[in-house]
Structure 1
Amino acid sequence: MEFKSNNPYNGQEVAKFKGLTQNELVDKLNKSQKAFESWRKVPISERSLLFKKAGQVLRDNVAEYAKIITLEMGKPILESRGEVNKCATVCDYYAKNAEKFLANEFIETDAQRSYVRHDPIGAVFAIMPWNFPFWQVFRFAAPTLIAGNVGLLKHAPNVFGCAEQIADVFKKAGFPDDVFQNLIVHHDKTEIIIAHDAVKAVTLTGSERAGAAVAQISGKYIKKILLELGGNNAFIVWDDADIDKAVATALTARMLNCGQSCIAAKRFILLEGIYDEFVLKFIAAVKNLKSGDPMEEDTKIGPLARKDLADQLQYQVRNSVAMGADLLLGGNQSGAYHEPTILGNVKPDMPAFDEETFGPLAAMIKVKTIEEAFALSEQSRYGLGVTVCTTNIEKALEYAHEVSDGAYFINELVKSDPRLPFGGTKKSGYGRELAKDGILEFVNRKTVYVKN
């Protein structure tokens, strides 16, 4: 099978990739087991040094890696550079902290000595999405590989060029052969990979449908799985908020990566006292965003990664308007490009409220009280994160326990940080990435008990 990646801005072919045959795939899976047997014995200090080198490789080649991101999925070039540099930070973070995170945990019992040790488990199969094609992979790879596991990557077909460059990072950094392998395969090979004895766990970042399908296969073979799926984050603005700051934060929260982010703010739930001011200022801010060629330095809004994604967003916009939403800005589509769009008077049951909108669409929702705002925030099958904008920090903290999402941010957009655990609840998945939690997801927490 042959795969192609195409530039979503102009439709031009970026590259072609030959898919693995069945025998080639099995050979790679077998090699991952052999690589694990030696990699697990490499001291953590040496693994950490290799990740420091990987971070430097990323920084040294940021222009090259950013270019392939932009060409394959349309991210504005400045954001692509930022993504590559963020990958370097996660390499640095685990290089610095892995030994501490994986240290034995001594627990006092009636034994002479009892503790928990953290051993690697084997090959971890990663199914990764196209929207942050470098970051999503390194978010998985840094903690997983530094713990002594080996990695198998099945990337989204439209960013197979990114996948090849990522594999090149590990090669340039001096990692042993087959510790990280890139698999050029279609999703129909997923079960073959998961069923292989070398594979001990699966991590998937993607759609709810993909997560459910892969979780079912993983359950069949009793393989652990981590899921980071869709989101429909609420961005709540109270009456006492600094509106200018809230608008600036909201603009990034919704329009970063042209809105193609699971943790993007999608539902803007505004107290009625500030609704008009916020909406007017948000519209003005969006109008100032330059659309165009994502390879140009001043472009803020490029195309969506594929035309079908723009088609889906257009369908959600039109249906929401037909159900009574007000079209305040934008609303048009041309190929893979979709105008930044703002809808007012959005209500539950409209697609703009109920569904994950993966693109530059902001849904404005007016409420009378803080309690109503949180009730509407919770009215979602997703649970990745919530933002609250207010000057009353202590009062906002009192509501943290009422939010069922995996993250609660005050006066900041929901974002992933290597130092903090990241993950969702409900249909947004389960498990945690990053921080100490992330490195412990794919280890054997082994109890050791010593008696005289």
Structure 2
Amino acid sequence: MSNTVKTINPATEQTIETYTLLSQKEAEQVIEKSHETYLKWRLTSFTERAKYLNKLASLFEDQKEAIAKLMTEEMGKVYEQGFQEVELCAGICRYTAEQGPEVLADEERDMDGGRAIISYQPTGVLLGIQPWNFPLYQVIRYSAANIMAGNTTVLKHAGNVFGMAEKIEELFKQAGFPEYCFNNLLIDGKTASSLISHKAISGVTFTGSDATGKKVAEEAGKHVKKTVLELGSNDAYLVLNDADLELAVKTCVTGRMINNGETCVSAKRFVVVESLYDDFKAQIKEQFEAMKMGDPMAD
């Protein structure tokens, strides 16, 4: 089995970069350092954590062209849609910095003859196993909130976006976060699964297929570790008798093809009443056939 991974531009099929995977032992050493950072990071104030998150948001905006270009090169995202993703992630960081102190504050509860509180405490190092379709957003949506809460995080990103994984780690460092507060692990799926049992990993989050999600949940369950899983879905799009057919077809095509069709909630199944079926099928076929493959960097 090869211990290297190549990233390839899907539009040109040219190799971008070759990465050497970490061994199991090397990955464990990073997790142990992340745990050491957690022991200090959990004692920092919300104000300090918020300062770094706001700085991270500004860095996303300042470097949005380079980040969007990297997405396009590694996984073929339409360049303009990359800007939307960067702006969303900057917004997540700012929202988390602003709302975190209030959301994470102790909550008092009435109790006869005493005083009760609910306290939100960090738990340790969290492992994120993430897909490539939104290579920045998928990472920021789990890491920002958890780091604000006083946890530290490690990332196993999809192999075809290892460049983005390295870029995200670099941006966290530029924002002033302590070393090993957020860390990227260049590892394969098998190594990631084996790390779930590591004593310093307190929880795992995974986005991807049902089949892999079951394995992640099973491994986490053996060690009674918390999981957050976002798995496959296939909601139906219904087209009924009173539908504006032209609008329905246009909406279906957009819903199927947004982000080049690589979206967890993209439209995958259309249920159409019999009276509209033939017209719907003819129109949607016409629209798909009119689509042309183009340069994802083009306006």
- Report the equivalent of 1:184: 186
Cα offset for 1:276? 4.3
Cα distance in 2, alignment partners of residues 184 and 41 from structure 1 = 29
Looking at structure 2, the residues matched to 245 and 144 of structure 1 have their Cα atoms a distance apart, in angstroms, of: 41
Shift of residue 180, structure 1, vs aligned partner = 0.2
In 1, distance between residues paired with 2:115 and 2:172? 39
Q: CA deviation at 1:214?
A: 1.4
Structure 1: how far apart are the matches of 2:139 and 2:188?
18
TM-score (norm 2): 0.93
Where do 4+ consecutive residues of structure 1 move more than 4 Å? none
Match of 2:42 among 31, 35, 40: 40
Shift in alpha-carbon separation, 1:273–1:109, aligned structure 2, 3 A: farther
One-letter code of the match for 2:76?
Answer: G
Q: Which residue of 2 aligns with 1:147?
A: 149
Paired position in structure 1 for 2:86:
84
CA positional deviation for 1:293:
2.1
Q: Which moved more, 1:188-197 or 1:140-149?
A: 188-197
Spell out the pairing of 1:181-260 with structure 2 (5 A cutoff): 181-260=183-262
Structure 1 residue ranges without an equivalent (≥5):
298-452
**TM-superposition CA deviations, 1:65-96 (whole Å, max 9, x none):** 11111111111112222222221121122122
Distance verdict in 2 for CA 1:291–1:45, change over 3 Å: same
What is the TM-score normalised by the length of structure 1?
0.63
Matched pairs, number:
297
Q: Percent identity?
A: 39
Mapping 1:67-146, distance limit 5 Å: 67-146=69-148
1:239 and 1:116 map into 2 onto residues whose CA distance is 51
> How big is the shift at 1:110?
1.2
Q: Which moves more between the two structures, 84-93 or 170-179?
A: 84-93
SS at match of 1:118: coil
SS in 2 for 1:15: strand
Aligned partners of 1:86 and 1:16: how far apart in 2? 29
For 1:186-232, what per-residue CA distance to the aligned partner results, in whole angstroms no more than 9, with x for missing partners?
A: 12212442122111000000111111111121112221111111111
Report how far residue 24 of structure 1 moved: 2.3
Deviations 1:365-422 (A, max 9, x none): xxxxxxxxxxxxxxxxxxxxxxxxxxxxxxxxxxxxxxxxxxxxxxxxxxxxxxxxxx
Residue aligning to 1:267 = 269
Moved more, 148-157 or 16-25: 16-25
Q: Distance in 1 between matches of 2:197 and 2:24?
A: 14
In the TM superposition, residue 46 of structure 1 has moved relative to its aligned partner by 1.9
- What SS is found at the alignment partner of 1:132? coil
Moved more, 64-73 or 275-284: 275-284
1:309-360 deviations in whole A, cap 9, x for unaligned? xxxxxxxxxxxxxxxxxxxxxxxxxxxxxxxxxxxxxxxxxxxxxxxxxxxx
Matches within 5 A, 1:155-166: 155-166=157-168
Which amino acid in the other structure matches residue 33 of structure 2? K
State the shift of 1:40 in Å: 0.9
Alignment match, 2:8: 6
Q: How far apart are residue 179 of structure 1 and its match?
A: 0.4
Change (3 A) 1:34 1:111: farther
Separation of aligned partners in 1, 2:193 and 2:253: 40
Which amino acid counterpart does residue 72 of structure 1 have in structure 2?
E
Q: Following TM superposition, by how much is the alpha carbon of 1:47 offset from its aligned partner in structure 2, in angstroms? A: 1.2
Q: CA deviation at 1:283?
A: 3.8
The aligned counterpart of 1:24 is 26
Q: CA deviation at 1:247?
A: 3.3
- In the TM superposition, residue 252 of structure 1 has moved relative to its aligned partner by 2.1
